[in-house]
Amino acid sequence: MSHISRRGFTAGAAGTLSGLLTAGDATAYAPEGDLGVIRRPQRQFRGMWLATVANRDWPSKPGLPAEQQRADLLGFLDTAVQRRLNAVIFQVRPTADALWPSPYEPWSQYLTGRQGEDPGWDPLGFAVREAHRRGLELHAWFNPYRIANHADPALLVPTHPARLHPEWVVAYGGKLYYNPGLPDVRCFVQDAMLDAVRRYPIDAVHWDDYFYPYPVAGQVFDDDAAWEAYGAGFPDRSAWRRDNTDRLVRETALRIRKLKPRVRFGISPFGVWRNRATDPEGSDTRAGVQTYDDLYADTRGWVRKRWIDYIVPQVYWNIGFAVADYAKLVPWWAGVVDGTGVDLFIGEALYKAGDPAQPAPWQDPAELSRHLTFDRSRPQVRGNAFFSAKEVAADRIGAMARVVADHYPTPVRPPR
């Protein structure tokens, strides 16, 4: 997809980001230690993921009254404004289901507790409207291939596409997935996702790191029949699988551009494309997972080919972490996007801050702030996104408050 033109904000109600900004605002702030340098004007992405799978962030549990669900959702949007964020990445298709009245897939079980049951309101439509009222971008977050976090098709509603097309389904690692190697699957999942693009004024289509599933020791992803049918001409199955993922990305990009050229397309992959020991073009890391080899996702290639508008690598490690050092990965990604016109935002592991199971750097409220200070030396880095909304609100040890105090003194508009 070509790098599309940026969209402006209109004035909004007092207390919202759009109400606080005028054309000459969006001042960038240099925290203490940068000699008081002020850079202006500047746009910056400040996002948070709002996860619905397994009721991680919202709704807090299934079956809550619609009025409470709406109030809780507004609470997260208001928190984003209070933290001077400007984008919410809202998960609207967590498991081959929908948080809007989709003609393709059932209502999500995470709303009512029963897949296919109408919750009596439209969460995506409500979220888009209320986000825009507050001057926030709403990026609709979809998972292309995950069907269920269990392996029993009988637990799906009888009208579920996976029940109607069992030949589309692969059970792997205790979960169900659509088979990425089938052209009918790629067409269907695109249709299901683009229905939301067609119907709502969302600002972006967003995917996370799930393409082919993460490897499970001792298990095989059974796509033998698809490989037999469609793998001719490829040197090996890995190359064919990567081509399948490439096709999904490229086709979706083209369809978004044709349908609504102002809607952006962004992907948030696992932070390591390939280790340098595997590929001289890779990063100076020793990660056990490499997206190119294990998820069949050529994340670097999508940027270099300019198929996407932005990338948010999940650089979920602390500065100095030996296996995957934040201070080595960010410059590597900056080099990947350099000259492409693709925006680079860095995904931040806010959920690790203060978690007693994490190493010592994550017990320091200043760790995340140091990340953003480091990023400022790389002009290719145009912002950050925080996982996830529950931690943005609760802020267990004050790490988010430190980021806001050090780096977000005033509201700014996101890149466009």
Q: What is the pLDDT of residue 416?
A: 86
Q: What is the pLDDT of residue 27?
A: 33
| Assigned token pair, 301 | 């290639």
Q: What is the pLDDT of residue 337?
A: 98
pLDDT in tens, 83-106: 999 999 999 999 999 999 999 999
pLDDT in tens, 171-208: 999 999 999 999 999 999 999 999 999 999 999 999 99
pLDDT in tens, 115-157: 999 999 999 999 999 999 999 999 999 999 999 999 999 999 9
The residue that leads in pLDDT, 26 or 346, is: 346
Mean pLDDT of the chain: 92
Taking CA 32 as the corner, what is the angle to CA 367 and CA 366, rounded to the nearest 5 degrees? 10
For a pLDDT cut of 70, what percent of the chain falls above it?
90
- Whether pLDDT at 17 is above 50: no
Q: How would residue 23 be classed by pLDDT, with cut points 50, 70 and 90?
A: very low
b/e 246-260 (16+ beta carbons within 10 angstroms → b): bebbeebbebbbeeb
pLDDT in tens, 314-359: 999 999 999 999 999 999 999 999 999 999 999 999 999 999 999 9
What SS3 string covers the chain? CCCCCCCCCCCCCCCCHHHHCCCCCCCEECCCCCCCCEECCCCCEEEEEECCHHHCCCCCCCCCCHHHHHHHHHHHHHHHHHCCCCEEEEEEECCCCECCCCCCCCECHHHHCCCCCCCCCCHHHHHHHHHHHCCCEEEEEECCCEEECCCCHHHCCCCCHHHHCHHHEEEECCEEEECCCCHHHHHHHHHHHHHHHHHCCCCEEEECCCCCCCCCCCCCCCCHHHHHHHCCCCCCHHHHHHHHHHHHHHHHHHHHHHHCCCCEEEECCECCCCECCCCCCCECCCCCCCHHHHHCCCHHHHHHCCCCCEECCECCCCCCCCCCCHHHHHHHHHHHHCCCCCEEEEEECHHHCCCCCCCHHHHCCCHHHHHHHHHCCCCCEEEEEECCHHHHHHCCCCHHHHHHHHHCCCCCCCCC
Name the CATH code of domain 17-407 (choices 2.60.120.460, 3.20.20.80, 2.60.40.1080, 3.90.25.10). Answer: 3.20.20.80
**Phi, psi values for residue 140, rounded to 5°:** -80, 120
pLDDT in tens, 360-406: 999 999 999 999 999 999 999 999 999 999 999 999 999 999 999 99
Q: How would residue 42 be classed by pLDDT, with cut points 50, 70 and 90?
A: confident
